[in-house]
Amino acid sequence: MISAVILTHNDEKTIEKTLESVRFCDEVVVIDDDSKDKTVEIAKKFTSKIFTHEVKDDFAAQRNFGLSKAKGEWVFYIDSDEVVSDKLAKEIKKSIKIGDGYYLKRNDFVFGRFLKHGETSRVRLLRLGRKGTGIWQRPVHETWNITGAVGTLSEPLLHFPHPNVAQFIEEINTYSTINAHFLFNQKIQCPWWHIIAYPKAKFFLNYFWYLGFMDGTAGAVSAIMMSMHSFLTRAKLYLLWHKK
């Protein structure tokens, strides 16, 4: 039995495609962060297992809450802006006969095209696992620490984030704040020169080393945004220590 777990928050524009794509799962569990739009109304067309639970700036805790509600032997996490292709669905059903967990590749669709280069093309996410083999950690950029045999699936998740630059910036601002507070609580300090050096290095890796420039304007915008995320995280961390 496979349980799909989806975290939602005001996702009425994307959630239906996501839910349609996980019909192959035996159970669908939606953990909603108090959406104010029609997200829950749409989700009710696909599942009765919808739970309202505030994220409180801790996405690992939100995912672990979803894990506690899932009844399947296998749990598959998919975000509300992701879609499972038919090929990936078949691969998932075939793969759960062995192992304890699987990393998934992800293809990002940004500003009118799928990115084939840059940092996002190298992403591997541990999203499919046997229940009871591990829990999620870190409040943002969270990771599922599974003990046991872990492989990687061939077919990618299709990811449709950031419909516009404004939302991209809004998300970066939110995640960088959470990340800075996490690093601060971990007693990690940030020298002033990190604020300058890390974003520059991030852009160089994304745009040149990982060939992001081959994705045209979308690749350039993506590289700039990832660099901005690096800048904001370190600048906010530096200010937290400065205030202390």
Per-residue pLDDT, 163:
84
Query: Running DSSP on this structure, what letter comes out for residue 33?
Result: -
Residues 134, 176, single domain; the answer is no
Between CA 31 and CA 104 the distance in angstroms is 21
- Please count the CA atoms within 13 angstroms of the CA of 224 that sit on its side-chain side: 9
State the total domains in the chain: 2
List residues bridging with 136 in a β-sheet.
Answer: 144
Consecutive H or E run containing 197: helix 192-204
Judging by DSSP bridges, how do beta strands 150-152 and 101-110 pair with one another?
Answer: parallel
Between CA 77 and CA 108 the distance in angstroms is 17
Q: Which residue has the tokens 């990393």?
A: 103
pLDDT in tens, the chain (244 residues): 999 999 999 999 999 999 999 999 999 999 999 999 999 999 999 999 999 999 999 999 999 999 999 999 999 999 999 999 999 999 999 999 999 999 999 999 998 999 999 999 999 999 999 999 999 999 999 999 999 999 999 999 999 998 888 999 999 999 999 999 999 999 999 999 999 999 999 999 999 999 999 999 999 999 999 999 999 999 999 999 998 6
What predicted TM-score, i.e. pTM, was given to this entire model?
Answer: 0.93
| Host domain of residue 189 | 165-243
Contact 47/20 with Cβ under 8 angstroms? no
Residues 175, 124, single domain; the answer is no
Picking from 159, 193, 209, the residue at the C-terminal end of a domain is 159
Between CA 83 and CA 91 the distance in angstroms is 14
Beta strands in 85-240 (DSSP E): 101-110, 113-114, 124-130, 134-137, 143-146, 150-152, 157-159
Q: In 33-164, which residue ranges form alpha helices assigned H by DSSP?
A: 39-43, 59-69, 86-95
Residues 200, 138, single domain; the answer is no
Residues 139, 188, single domain; the answer is no
Per-residue pLDDT, 134:
96
CA distances to 41, 70, 90, 171 from 175, rounded to whole Å, are 27, 26, 33, 6
Between CA 62 and CA 173 the distance in angstroms is 20
Contact 39/91 with Cβ under 8 angstroms? no
Residues 39, 135, single domain; the answer is yes
